[in-house]
Amino acid sequence: MNINEMYKQKLTTADEAVKLVEDGWRVIFPPAIGQPPTLMSALARRKDEFNFLELLVVIDVYFTELMNIKKEDSIKIDYCMPIFSRKAIQDGSQTYTPARLSQIISFIDMGRLYQCAMLQVSPMDEFGYFSMGTNCDFALPVGKKAQKVIVQVNENMPRTFGRNLWHVSEVDAIVEDTVPLTCLPALPPNETEKLIGQHIADMIDDGACIQLGVGSMPNAVALCLEDKKDLGVHTEMMPDAIRVLWEKGVITNRRKNFHPDLMLTSLAIGTEEMYKWLNNNPAIHFYPTDYILDPYIIGKNDNMICINSALQVDLTGQVNAESMGYVQ
């Protein structure tokens, strides 16, 4: 059977595809943009058919019917870094499991197995491969061990490279639905953030390999790096700030000693301009979080500088980047 025949055989509707999920299973989704909203809503509509179903969502960025799930329903939703569902966690309707993205794969390997992975992917290429686009994170290695893999094909999802591909022979059901990708606006820094950004920029030399987070603080740093030369990138999350520096010729990756000439990341969230920039860009490779965030791997980069935001620092130098009191 050729790849096109295989594709047609597995093509179905969202409501039919989610019937592959059995009672008592655990289902995993990629964080953020890689989540398949059409499949998530279809699964929520099956809530009365289950006695128990656990979902790992991690970062929610789409408004789906899962947001209507109540505490007494059979579907239990677990988050690590919620956005829209923080109130549901605070009132006990849903679960919050503290975890670093780098830890999730090892947690699952220790016994919290997931039987189904649902992903949002770019259209199949001529060789039969789907790209996970903005994501790779933990969903790829966990999904490779799952009993069932269901994909939502979205023409808006950029085709990216790295270890983030699925062959049509590896998936069990294919659903086509092109929906807008959630965008995160590039937040302009305030005056205080600009001062902090300049202070940080003064500590970054030409040729350094940088990691930037998402938000106004990384944008402030990026604005102050425009006079730097030949910076490289090894970052957990790809923000718009890196796209801007690449377009201005500041980021070239030419002086990287590890994965030279390439930017490495695990997931991306940003503006529509960034998603267009990612599409078919051979300079960006996506790898799982247990690779990107492995201290041994990070340490292979010469002159590595990580820049992240924090909420509090106490008098002993401990940094809090998670929550203010009981509010995440």
Q: Are 104 and 197 in a shared domain?
A: no
| CATH number of the domain bearing residue 118 | 3.40.1080.10
Nearest to 284 by CA among 242, 244, 241: 242
Among 176, 199, 228, residue at a domain's last position: 176
Note the pLDDT of residue 325: 65
Among 176, 201, 229, residue at a domain's last position: 176
Residues 36 and 158: their CA atoms lie apart, in Å, by 14
Number of structural domains in the chain? 2
Residues 231 and 223: their CA atoms lie apart, in Å, by 14
Note the pLDDT of residue 84: 61
Note the pLDDT of residue 322: 72
Ramachandran angles phi, psi of 167, nearest 5° = -85, 150
How far from 70 is each of 55, 89, 116, 260, CA to CA, in Å?
Answer: 14, 11, 22, 49
Note the pLDDT of residue 97: 76
Give 10-residue mean pLDDT values along the chain (328 residues). Answer: 94 98 96 96 96 90 90 85 68 75 79 91 98 95 95 98 97 98 87 91 96 83 93 95 95 97 96 97 96 96 91 89 66
Note the pLDDT of residue 1: 72
Is 236 marked active-site? yes
| CATH number of the domain bearing residue 210 | 3.30.750.70
How far from 319 is each of 199, 221, 293, 314, CA to CA, in Å?
Answer: 18, 19, 19, 7
Note the pLDDT of residue 274: 96
Q: Are 207 and 299 in a shared domain?
A: yes
Among 131, 147, 176, residue at a domain's last position: 176
37 falls within a domain? yes
Residues 29 and 44: their CA atoms lie apart, in Å, by 14
- Angle, vertex CA 298, rays to CA 309 and CA 315, nearest 5: 35
SS3 percent helix, strand, coil of the chain, rounded to 5, is 30, 20, 50
Note the pLDDT of residue 80: 67
Q: Spot the catalytic one: 126, 193, 236, 322.
A: 236
Q: Are 154 and 196 in a shared domain?
A: no
Q: Containing domain of residue 256, as a range? A: 191-268+294-320
Q: Are 91 and 45 in a shared domain?
A: yes
